[in-house]
Amino acid sequence: MGSKLFLITIPYLLVLVLVLTTLSTQCLAGDLASHKPVSPEILCKSFPDPPYCISVLPNNTSNIYDYGRFSIKKSLSLSVKFLNLIHRYLSGLSVLSTAAVRALEDCQLLASLNTEFLLSSFETVNATNTTLSPFHADRLQTLLSAVITNLQTCGDGLQTTASAWGVYNELSVPLTNDTKLSSVSLALFTKAWVPKRNLAWQPTGRQRVSRLGKMHLHMSSRTRKIYESFSRRNLLQTTEDEVSVYDILVVSQDGSGNYTTINDAVTAAPTSSNGTNGYFLIYIAAGVYEEYVSIPSNKTYLMMIGDGINQTVITGNHSVADNWTTFSSATFSVVASNFIAVGITFRNTAGAIKNQAVAVRNGADLSTFYLCSMEGYQDTLYAHSLRQFYRECDIYGTVDFIFGNAAVVLQNCNLYPRQPIKGQFNAITAQGRTDLNQNTGTSIHNCTITAASDLASSNFTVQTYLGRPWKMYSRTVYMQTFMDSLINPAGWHVWNDTFALSTLYYAEYNNSGPGSNTTNRVTWPGYHVINATDAVNFTVSTFLMGDSWLPQTGVPYTGGLISCF
């Protein structure tokens, strides 16, 4: 894995160096004289780490746009250096343990993504000295938020891998410096280019009707015949609206399709699609696929459709107990933007005894999972980063089984806490926000929380909580969700003593069921029972800006709060 990533990375870095050299000689766009100059001391006052912010910015008075460009460009330069440093470690594979190599390979992938995110961000801010449109500002704030998350994930993987401690000690300084600088970049971008939202505007709670009905197919006659031979009425023929699909590959274990494995179909799928012609569809016929599937960043606008939950199953059993990192333990992982999965079960069968074992790891921007099932125990769904939407999915797990630092909404989903190993308690969420300016958090809207059959049969002797704070600014909201009696009256659990209790943001709004009573909830400074005005900020239309990208997916969604009459 390491050598393959390097072969891709080197030409990319050569191009990147040329781009950076060119950009450094360009004149900044716009009339800078019209912007008020400010000293770093004044500007950094409200930032997370003022002394570091002051130390890293140029020691001269300038405007916030200049500072922002300087910081993002410097972050990009450090990201390239860090990526080269990771490669140097991986080039000496013989002296590293398997677990350490896997942790470094995670870092290599994450650092490579960061160079892409920072280059895209710099190209945008270098071209304007005015606030961006809400859509474009949200996109860049999302990318810069993900840069920090990727650095944190790299460090976590190295730090928690015993055989990688030596490497972590050597990489901890560049990781810390990169993270601090990325935090400054995010703060400057948020202050300069992000428009203030009009929070008085409230999206409608009207249901968006599914457009996963009649596919608009731009494909050869042969492929069309293959497509039309599917019995797809249960998933696709729900309305007369259309979703554009320009071509299709069929995966079937009996040899009747184009491929017998999912990975072969992913390899054959087109790269770097911009979505102009719609999605490329991989249809996965019913069967149990024992594969570890990874959708790389260049497989954009890819749609996967199975034959339904428990019919099309992708399964694996990697776990931290077997020397995988949490990040690399995933049965199914995706980082390609605009990904859609429909009607598939994703499993990690390592079991509760193997600790962290991910079924789905999602780091794909504008990604959607619909009518899917994620089955595992600890760390089932790793909603790692960027913007994600889950609709009518079933999610099973025990400890922290929905975790990560994406901006994610789960809507109309079923959450099934399971029976953990002796001595454990269940925590449904463990959200990982580490920076106040990250636009991330977990929003659980109109879902149902009931015990899985194994937990139900135990008479709830195991305690189940709504979540616990994995990172300093952990943010999770439950809205209009049914909570059965398995939920502990306190609702939420500590991570470690008093860690993050005053900096987290946990909230509940208008939930129902015997577990929803907030009378005996925790009294932490960061816990809130909120009203509709606050809750609307965590709806699909506001939190994910879903109206700008979800309609083209064909997946149904409710943009705002559900009206109660």
Per-residue confidence (pLDDT) for residue 200, from 0 to 100: 36
What pLDDT shows up at residue 48?
A: 86
d(CA 526, CA 388): 24
Q: Which two tokens stand for residue 224?
A: 């069309």
Nearest Cα residue to 6 out of 78, 75, 85:
85
Q: Which of 106, 178, 400, 435 is catalytic?
A: 400
pLDDT value of residue 228:
57
Is 254 one of the catalytic residues? no
The pLDDT value recorded for residue 242 is: 63
The angle, 0 to 180 degrees and rounded to 10, between the axes of the packed helices 134-159 and 64-90 is 30
The DSSP code for 326 is T
CA distances, 139 to each of 109, 275, 325, 407 (Å)? 21, 17, 29, 11
pLDDT at 15: 43
| Contact assessment for residue 436 and residue 145, using Cβ atoms and an 8 Å cutoff | no
List of residues 6+ apart from 422 with CB closer than 8 A: none
d(CA 522, CA 1): 45
Q: Are 112 and 9 in contact (CB under 8 A)?
A: yes
Q: Where are the alpha helices (DSSP H) in 399-525?
A: 453-456
Model pLDDT, residue 198: 44
CA dist., res. 76 & res. 72, Å (int):
6
CA-CA distance, 456 to 459, in Å (whole number)? 6
C-alpha to C-alpha distance for 423 and 330, rounded to whole angstroms: 25
Report the chain's C-alpha Rg in angstroms: 23
CA distances from 532 to 47, 71, 543, 558 (A): 29, 38, 14, 15
Nearest to 426 by CA among 460, 381, 474: 460
Residue 419 confidence (pLDDT):
96
- Give me the residue label for tokens 């990489």: 171
- What's CA 419's distance to the chain center, in Å? 26
Q: Which residues of the chain have pLDDT under 50?
A: 1-15, 17-34, 198-202, 217, 219-220, 223, 230-240, 565
